[in-house]
A and B are shown apart, each in its own frame.
Chain A
Amino acid sequence: MKKGLIIAAALAMAPTLATAASFQEAFESNRAMHGNDHVFEWKGGKYHTNHEEEMEARVKATKANAADLLAKAKAKNAEVAKLGFEWKLTGGILKDAQKAIDEGDYQKALNLAAQAKYHARIGIQQYHYAQKNWHLSVPE
């Protein structure tokens, strides 16, 4: 009898626990499962799984738009470099984006600039996470 009650309670709690995820957790799990351009529900609202940089790259593929996004990506990367958390591949991606602009492939340049800006943004998040949590793995 007791066992049955516990199972029933657990089943009743399960949806509550499932919706208790933060927006970030819901976003990350949907992104991991479905990739970009997927729509998911969270607390009654509908959201997509695209990174903000992917949305920034969805503009008309012109030289001016590509150069603009590349400039933003470079600025973001300079920000993360100043914090000492620049990622290894970002510099090369920025160079490739510039090369794509020079060759007139503006959509490619937009996509690469978006990728570089994403790297830099997550690097900055990583820096702030590290400041708060670096001590967690120190043996005591």
Chain B
Amino acid sequence: MKIIKTLALGLTVAAATQMTHAADTGFDMQTVDPEADRIALQKYFKSRFPESDIADYVNGIYAVDAGSREQWEELEEFPPYEFDVEQGEELFNTAFANGKGYADCFENGGIGIRQNFPYWSKEEGTVKTLEQEINECRVNNGEEPLKWGKGAIAQISAYMAWTSRDKVFDIKIPADDERAKAAYLDGKKFFYAKRGQLNLSCANCHVQGSNIAIRADLPSPQLGHVTHFPVFRSKWGSLGTLHRRYSGCHKDSRSKPLKPQAEEFRNLEYFQSYMSNGLVANGPGSRK
């Protein structure tokens, strides 16, 4: 009898813990808890794919689908982004007309810093991304901004990511600025809200739907999504930035896609990058 009572008490406590935990991640400014979100997401994927190591999620779908991984590993023997990294290095080191260069705009000369992006700028009251700062660097030095999405901006970003490989993401949400938390919450809400004619949220494919075939494609898990960008996608036949992918995904739900670097996408990147805290930067990557 005593055993049954103890067991019942134990189960009640366990259930209560679960219930308390269920309210932890928060859905408004008073309750949202980014760290609880990150832990809950890891727990979710650990439960979905118990064989996969959390650290391996930087490899996207290849962390959870053995068949896809095999093909990808073959592809990585001669990485399709290699020439882009070389080109990116050349562009990065080419001086602007005023004699200055990208290295003058970034901390540590722009080397090994990818994992710090995006970040919350208190001065500007907005989320700043790496590509945004590459273009700001150009404009501040009298150069024309590059087109977002692909081409030179993706190559420069790829080179900077290359120099940052294995650095650990540690995105901060400053506690002394509520606007940062609001931007994070906005990104979280964007990720989980259904939209478009197909009534799909990002989460429908990349949380609940990850590794479940959509025609011939297997959607990647949201955990580790940002770590390997920019990516060379076989579908594109070229290198592209994270926001190029965001526009494509947005369009896939039959929503009118936002432009790369729109505030909504930068907030989404902020949320997704926080989810990747603790994982390493491994861009550029190659994907189907």
- Residues of chain A touching chain B, judged by Cβ–Cβ distance below 8 Å, are 81, 84-91, 119, 126, 129-130, 134-135, 137-140
Please determine whether B201 and A140 come into contact, CB atoms closer than 8 angstroms: no
- Residues of chain B touching chain A, judged by Cβ–Cβ distance below 8 Å, are 21-25, 27, 37, 40-41, 43-44, 188-189, 192-197, 199, 201, 203-204, 207-208, 251, 254-257, 264
Bound: A90/B27 CA distance, A:
31
Known: A86-B255, A88-B254. 11 other contacts (CB 8 A): A81-B256, A85-B255, A87-B197, A87-B256, A88-B197, A88-B251, A91-B256, A130-B193, A134-B27, A137-B192, A138-B192
Complex partner residue of A140 from B25, B194, B204, B208, CB under 8 angstroms? B25
Complex partner residue of A137 from B22, B37, B208, CB under 8 angstroms? B208
Bound: A135/B196 CA distance, A:
18
Contact partners of A86 in chain B: CB under 8 A: 255-256
Please determine whether A140 and B195 come into contact, CB atoms closer than 8 angstroms: no
Please determine whether A134 and B201 come into contact, CB atoms closer than 8 angstroms: yes
For residue B78, give the distance in angstroms from its CB to the closest CB of chain A.
Answer: 36
Please determine whether A84 and B264 come into contact, CB atoms closer than 8 angstroms: yes
Bound: A88/B196 CA distance, A:
7
Complex partner residue of A119 from B41, B194, B197, CB under 8 angstroms? B197
Complex partner residue of B256 from A90, A126, A135, CB under 8 angstroms? A90
Specify which of A86, A126, A130, A134 lies most central, judged by the most chain B CB atoms within 10 Å of its CB.
A134
Please determine whether B257 and A139 come into contact, CB atoms closer than 8 angstroms: no
Bound: A81/B40 CA distance, A:
33
Complex partner residue of B40 from A129, A130, A135, A140, CB under 8 angstroms? A140
Please determine whether B27 and A135 come into contact, CB atoms closer than 8 angstroms: yes
Complex partner residue of B189 from A81, A129, A134, A139, CB under 8 angstroms? A134
Bound: A101/B280 CA distance, A:
56
Bound: A84/B194 CA distance, A:
12
For residue B234, give the distance in angstroms from its CB to the closest CB of chain A.
Answer: 24
Please determine whether A88 and B44 come into contact, CB atoms closer than 8 angstroms: no
Please determine whether B27 and A137 come into contact, CB atoms closer than 8 angstroms: no
For residue B251, give the distance in angstroms from its CB to the closest CB of chain A.
Answer: 6
Considering the complex, give the chain A residue whose CB is closest to the CB of B28. A135
Contact partners of B201 in chain A: CB under 8 A: 134, 137
Q: Would you mind naming 24 contact pairs between A and B with Cβ atoms under 8 Å apart?
A: A85-B255, A88-B196, A88-B197, A88-B254, A88-B255, A89-B254, A90-B256, A91-B256, A119-B197, A126-B194, A126-B199, A130-B195, A134-B189, A134-B201, A135-B192, A137-B204, A138-B27, A138-B37, A138-B40, A138-B192, A138-B203, A139-B41, A139-B43, A140-B21
Complex partner residue of A88 from B43, B189, B207, B257, CB under 8 angstroms? B257
Please determine whether B194 and A87 come into contact, CB atoms closer than 8 angstroms: no
Known: A87-B197, A126-B194, A134-B189. A139 touches B251 (CB 8 A): no
Contact partners of A138 in chain B: CB under 8 A: 25, 27, 37, 40, 188, 192, 203
Q: Which 6 A-B pairs have the closest CB atoms?
A: A139-B44, A130-B193, A86-B256, A134-B193, A135-B27, A88-B254
Specify which of A87, A119, A135, A138 lies most central, judged by the most chain B CB atoms within 10 Å of its CB.
A138
Bound: A88/B197 CA distance, A:
8
For residue A51, give the distance in angstroms from its CB to the closest CB of chain B.
Answer: 15
Considering the complex, give the chain B residue whose CB is closest to the CB of A77. B256
Known: A84-B264, A87-B255. A137 touches B197 (CB 8 A): no
For residue A133, give the distance in angstroms from its CB to the closest CB of chain B.
Answer: 8
Contact partners of A137 in chain B: CB under 8 A: 192, 201, 203-204, 207-208
Considering the complex, give the chain B residue whose CB is closest to the CB of A91. B256
For residue B50, give the distance in angstroms from its CB to the closest CB of chain A.
Answer: 15
Bound: A135/B204 CA distance, A:
12
Considering the complex, give the chain A residue whose CB is closest to the CB of B195. A85
Please determine whether A89 and B25 come into contact, CB atoms closer than 8 angstroms: no
